[in-house]
Amino acid sequence: MDTNGLTTREILTFILAGGRGERLDPLTRDRTKPAVPFGGIYRIIDFTLSNCVNSGLRRIYVLTQYKSFSLQKHLLAGWNVLSNQLGEFIDIIPAQQRISADWYKGTADAIYQNLYAIYDCEPKLVLILAGDHIYKMDYQDMIRYHKKKKADMTVACIPVLKEHSAQFGVVEVDEENHIRGFQEKPQQPKTIPGNSNEIFASMGIYLFERDVLESELESDARCASEHDFGKNVIPQMLRNGKKIYVYNFVDEHKCPRYWRDIGTRDAYYQANMDLLKADSKIDIYDRSWPIRTFHEQYPPTHMMSIKSGTGTIVDSMISGGCLIAGGHVETSIVSPDVQIGDNASVKNSIIMEGVIVGAGAKIQNAIIDKEVKIPPRAQIGYNLELDAKRFVLTTSGIVIVAKKMMVPP
């Protein structure tokens, strides 16, 4: 029994992990967005799953749809950690067309098509999460708030400057954080009462009373809509007189906690770079809140000094199994089993698993996906006009080299 007066068996969690992730192309050409590698050794979904396990929530369904093979392999290899005998599970539910010939038409429809899973588990509360955000949250705090407010639904939000409103679903509230409306990426947003400079941005985290969720999903399914929680279900619930509150994701000083929706290439790059900051707002070294993942069996990283000089690492994260033979790595994240050759240079970059950087090659401001071979003396990130013809460039000029791509000399 936890401090909320509910056993873990009375809370059921769904993680939505079926998005196409088109804005992250080419990183999502072969994998769904939650399966994209992050921070050297992790996948994006590891942060949401770690939050669940660390919060004591251990009845979890992961809903998949597009390009899910890589994600399924990762979950089966790295997240088979719970006890079925104790009623705990992390189970994958692929889109099955159980109700009609349609795949998931929206976030609400994804849960509606899996109502049978709720009937089987008979929880009191249902927590719905996104599998493609980077943050650390104790969901028990949100559950306590939900129970205190006697809410039908609680939506986790984070304060954001109003000039960024076009990037988010914006939640309108009164002085008691009681939700009064929802705006999808508005140009003229409703601001937080008493704070004309900030909005409440929805984090895509929804906590429902089970009976309310079932009733509202049934009603939404009968309507012609996008079947989205923010756009459709919340307005419908407000019309039905339901009590919906915002859970404000701030620290003890009322400052917003770290949360990133890494739905774009530049956002993905920046969230990785955030890990390297001396004052990083997300601490992956916190032993009291471990971020779990699947680890391959690699030997230790080896820094080799050769005749031409000594390899160097500056302000970087280097994963296991790497061989750095006289190369230079600066402000970069290097995934496992990477080789960096003599006099090669890697700066301000993300290098994924199995990449080989040839002798004398130079890379800067780049994301190199898995198993790419960089020829000796090749350059990436130094001539963006040439790079744009060969690779993918982000809005801010970060070069992305697709998985297993043959890089010309």
Are β-strands 153-161 and 244-248 bridged in parallel, bridged antiparallel, or unpaired? Answer: parallel
- Give the tens place of pLDDT for each residue, 220-233: 999 888 999 999 99
**Together in a domain, 260 and 308:** no
Q: What does the buried/exposed string (b/e) look like for 304-318 if buried means 16 or more CB atoms within 10 Å of the residue's CB? A: eeeeeeebebeebbb
- Beta-bridge mates of residue 16: 63, 130
Q: What does the buried/exposed string (b/e) look like for 86-112 if buried means 16 or more CB atoms within 10 Å of the residue's CB? A: eebebebbebeeeeeeeebbbbbbbbb
Cα angle value 338/133/258 (rounded, 5°)? 100
Q: What's residue 7's pLDDT?
A: 72
Residue 406: inside a domain: no
Q: Are 159 and 46 in contact (CB under 8 A)?
A: no
**Together in a domain, 307 and 259:** no
**Together in a domain, 164 and 230:** yes
Q: Tally the domains of the chain.
A: 2
**Together in a domain, 212 and 125:** yes
Residue 285: inside a domain: no
Residue 233: inside a domain: yes
User: Measured between alpha carbons, how far is residue 295 from residues 9, 159, 197, 336 in Å?
Assistant: 29, 35, 44, 9
**Together in a domain, 261 and 320:** no
Could you list the mean pLDDT of each consecutive 10-residue stretch along the chain, which spans 409 residues?
67 91 92 95 97 96 93 93 86 80 83 94 96 96 96 97 91 94 90 93 96 95 90 93 96 92 94 95 94 94 82 94 95 98 96 97 98 97 96 97 94
**Together in a domain, 267 and 337:** no
- Beta-bridge mates of residue 11: 125
Those residues with Cβ within 8 angstroms of residue 386's Cβ, 6 or more apart along the chain or in another chain:
none
**Together in a domain, 99 and 234:** yes
**Together in a domain, 238 and 314:** no
Q: Are 373 and 406 in contact (CB under 8 A)?
A: yes
Query: Which CATH number belongs to the domain containing residue 258 in this structure?
Result: 3.90.550.10
**Together in a domain, 263 and 311:** no
From 237, 256, 274, the end of a domain falls on: 274
Q: What's residue 405's pLDDT?
A: 95
> In whole angstroms, what is the distance from residue 116 CA to residue 113 CA?
8
Q: What is the DSSP annotation of 62-75?
A: EEE-SS-HHHHHHH
Are β-strands 302-306 and 309-310 bridged in parallel, bridged antiparallel, or unpaired? Answer: antiparallel
From 274, 293, 323, the end of a domain falls on: 274
Residue 188: inside a domain: yes
Structural domain harbouring 307: 302-401
Q: Are 110 and 130 in contact (CB under 8 A)?
A: no
> In whole angstroms, what is the distance from residue 125 CA to residue 14 CA?
11
Q: What's residue 3's pLDDT?
A: 47
DSSP 8-class letter at 138: -
Residue 286: inside a domain: no
- Give the tens place of pLDDT for each residue, 172-228: 999 999 999 999 889 889 999 999 999 999 999 999 999 999 999 999 999 888 999
Query: Which CATH number belongs to the domain containing residue 359 in this structure?
Result: 2.160.10.10
Cα angle value 143/145/150 (rounded, 5°)? 95
**Together in a domain, 33 and 145:** yes
* Strand (E) or helix (H) holding 235: helix 234-239
Q: What is the DSSP annotation of 308-370?
A: TEE-EEES-EE-TT-EEES-EEES-EE-TT-EE-TT-EEES-EE-TT-EE-TT-EEESEEE-T
Residue 371: inside a domain: yes
Q: What's residue 4's pLDDT?
A: 62
Whether the link from the prior residue into 193 is cis, omega within 30° of 0, is: no
Q: What's residue 402's pLDDT?
A: 97
End-to-end CA distance of the chain: 61
**Together in a domain, 120 and 177:** yes
Residue 2: inside a domain: no
> In whole angstroms, what is the distance from residue 266 CA to residue 398 CA?
7
Residue 259: inside a domain: yes
- Beta-bridge mates of residue 247: 156
The pTM score is 0.94
Q: What's residue 310's pLDDT?
A: 79
Cα angle value 284/289/294 (rounded, 5°)? 65
**Together in a domain, 89 and 168:** yes
Place of tokens 């939000």: 157
User: Which 3 state secondary structure label does DSSP give 156?
Assistant: strand
Q: What's residue 1's pLDDT?
A: 43
For residue 197, what are its two tokens? 């400079």
Q: Are 41 and 333 in contact (CB under 8 A)?
A: no
